[in-house]
Chains A and B, each alone.
Chain A
Amino acid sequence: MACILVFIEQRNGSIRKASLEALSEARRLASGAGWSVCAVVAGHGVAAKAAELGAWGAGRAYVAEEERFARYSSEGYAAVVRAAAEKCAPVAVFMAATALGRDLSGRVAARLGWGCFADVTKLAVDGGTVKAIRPVYSGKALASVDGAGKPVVVTLRPNVFPAESAGGAAEVEPLPVVPAEIRAVVKEILAKEGGELDVAEADVIVTGGRGIKGPENFALIRDLAKVLGAAVGASRAVVDAGWIEHSHQVGQTGKVVSPSLYIACGVSGAIQHLAGMSSSKVIVAINKDPEAPIFKVADYGIVGDLFQVVPALTEEVRKLKAEA
């Protein structure tokens, strides 16, 4: 029976939500096609977690349990994925399009000699192979891609595919020690101060643009983000002005995001920015210029002074959350 192999990402022994999304999507596709789903996880002290992957769709979970796999390395993890692929001969290898997945996928695809569909937002099985739709030109267009009938590696954009648990346990199979030359080694992980949520993973994003007038006013954006449990985004203009780090930038030279709710405050909506966020499910714009292009993609908007509107909105959300 054909199978989809899903690479499961862990950080400090915890399985990432985006990997469960990829696993759930694999199950949905496999159940329609009569295929099975296998998972593979690399790490140290992760074996106990592997059986739980059954609830999310894995019939079998391969575990490469080794101290040197505790932290990510593209060479080590690529060897693990290849070893698992040799066991189950999948038609596709799925992984989450996280920082890790987008790094690993290229090396794995080249090692297997397969193509790769990067950062996909829609998947289907057709004629016994996996096909996908993926945003290109930072979301200005959508490309339909196929693997010319051959197996492929696929990275799935976080927050797009629902993670669905249905109970059940996976059959855990240890992957024997995988010989792998690891030359690029992670020595240390530097966490950002305050452990801020990253825009690439967030379900809600509040973004500040040039309209906030100065770096100190990101406090208004952060306040609203905090009551919503949201990540803080930024337009290119404010990143280039040095008001906030690049990791917050949304748009063509930043991150392309698809959260459930995107609130743009003082963002005019340059074409590069719109490309990066217009696939968000609900878009809210707050801007004093009624002609700002951001309103053309907004589901809801307020024409007004963000210095008055944003604090008022923060207060209203706080009240609603308190009632709930």
Chain B
Amino acid sequence: MKSCVLMTHVPDTASVIKVAGSATRIEEADIKWIVSPYDEYALEEAIRLKEAKTGSVTVLTFGPERAQQGLRECLARGADAAVHVKGGDALFGDSLAIAKVLAPAIRKTGPFDIVLAGVKGVGSDNALVGAMVAELLGLPHVSSVVKLEVGETGVTAQREIEGGAEVVEAPLPCLITAQKGLNEPRYPSLKGIMASKKVAIQSFAVADLGLDEAALAGPDATCRWTGLSLPPAKSGGVILKGEEDPAGAARELARLLREQAKAI
């Protein structure tokens, strides 16, 4: 079973977000970068598949230099090979432009039996790239997967929906996006960290795929961030003391919610 895991390197979820001078991007100065948490579930699932069925795991990212750190981390956890398509800063937030780069990169480094990705990259929060890559590669996909069984010719996946799950069957090759709950990702082992340092990361440029990043960001752009702002800060909440008379505080809160906030 040859699998490909799509990884994106994102600001740590504990980051305080500030707007950069350009007013269309975040200020990156104090940001710690991590493997997007949902990609960790995708990677873990691919490693488990390899352990159960033999095969290999290739992790692929499209991002700036620093994304190599994320690739190293994935190698340390158990990926066998890593591919770095360099660039992407100008395409941030434009999922279709990113998918147009990822699809040929997967083709170039494949073929793969299964492609896995996180359901979304935390940050741009689009949750689109997986389905778009599947469409561009002509593959079926199942998104937001919380349970996965992989057979010889196809998969059975449980996909999270409101109030339950859909059980979906799809033939291989296919693309899966991982939701939290799919598995419990492992930490890198010391042995894994040492071994990962010896792996050569294959890297190439967008131009090597026959694409022009400037055109994708310019005339061919499909979604542009034209502004970025912080939500208005809240203040002046009515905070009641409930230590001594919890029932009284609850009564007052219920009254305020009904009469003032008109929320109940």
Q: Which residues of A contact B (CB under 8 A)?
A: 71-72, 74-75, 78, 98-100, 102-107, 109-111, 113-119, 131, 134-148, 150, 152, 183-192, 195-198, 200-201, 204, 228, 239, 245-247, 249, 252-254, 256, 260-261, 270-272, 278-279, 281-286, 288, 290, 295-305, 308-309, 312-313, 315-317, 319-321
Contact = CB atoms under 8 A, between A and B. Distances in A.
B164 A189 contact: yes
Contact of B96 (A110, A146, A254): A110
Interface string B3-30: 0000000010111110100000010000
Contact of B140 (A72, A136, A145, A183): A183
B232 to A, nearest CB: 10
Given A103-B143, A119-B125, A302-B253, A187 B224 contact: no
14 contacts: A99-B144, A100-B161, A110-B96, A115-B96, A138-B13, A141-B19, A143-B225, A152-B223, A188-B166, A190-B164, A271-B14, A288-B243, A316-B250, A316-B254
A72 B166 contact: yes
Given A110-B132, A119-B127, 8 more contacts: A106-B132, A110-B131, A137-B122, A143-B227, A145-B93, A189-B166, A299-B237, A301-B240
Contact of B257 (A284, A285, A305): A284
B263 A281 contact: yes
Given A260-B263, A297-B234, A111 B135 contact: yes
A292 B186 CA distance: 31
A135 to B, nearest CB: 7
Contact of A253 (B93, B180, B239): B180
A contacts with B: majority SS: mixed
B129 A106 contact: yes
Contact of B222 (A134, A148, A191, A260): A148
B166 A141 contact: no
A315 B168 CA distance: 43
B246 A309 contact: yes
A302 B19 contact: no
A141 to B, nearest CB: 5
Contacts of B14: 270-272
Contacts of A143: 93, 225, 227-228
A239 B222 CA distance: 37
A131 B226 CA distance: 10
A191 B242 contact: no
A99 B237 contact: no
Contact of A106 (B16, B123, B127, B240): B127
B37 to A, nearest CB: 5
